[in-house]
Amino acid sequence: MNDTLIYIGSIIIILWGIAHLIPTGQIVKGFGEISADNKKVLAMEIISEGMTLIFLGTLPILVTTCGDAQSLTAHILFYAEAGMLLVMALVTMFTGARTPVIWYKLCPAVKVITAAFFVLGSVL
């Protein structure tokens, strides 16, 4: 297995997750006059996706550095992570990527590329 591909995929998706968190306030403000409760829910969803992406990048790093990246368990984790990223990419394709915001349009590609790194890293 090529651990380097796992690390590259992990770093990409961790950075993408951090990039989700940074503009949270600006994104919420961009929705204009919505109720305080809606602002909280919107912020929660943005933060949740960013934290999920960071977590999805952290797990493969932990498995690769602290465990046996060659094990069946590690391979199952890498494939499960790739599957989750592909599902998230699909959701984004039908939601945020349909807006004019370039970052939302890039999001599915970043998730698919990361999924590919995880799959390739587990088979090479």
* pLDDT value at residue 117: 98
24-77 pLDDT per residue, tens: 999 999 999 999 999 999 999 999 999 999 999 999 999 999 999 999 999 999
Q: Alpha carbon of 108 to those of 1, 38, 73, 82, 87: distances in Å?
A: 25, 25, 27, 13, 10
Distance (Å, rounded) from C-alpha 37 to C-alpha 91? 24
Q: Report H helices in the chain.
A: 3-21, 24-29, 36-66, 72-94, 102-123
Token digits for 115?
Answer: 């999924």
Over residues 31-46, the pLDDT tens digits come to 999 999 999 999 999 9
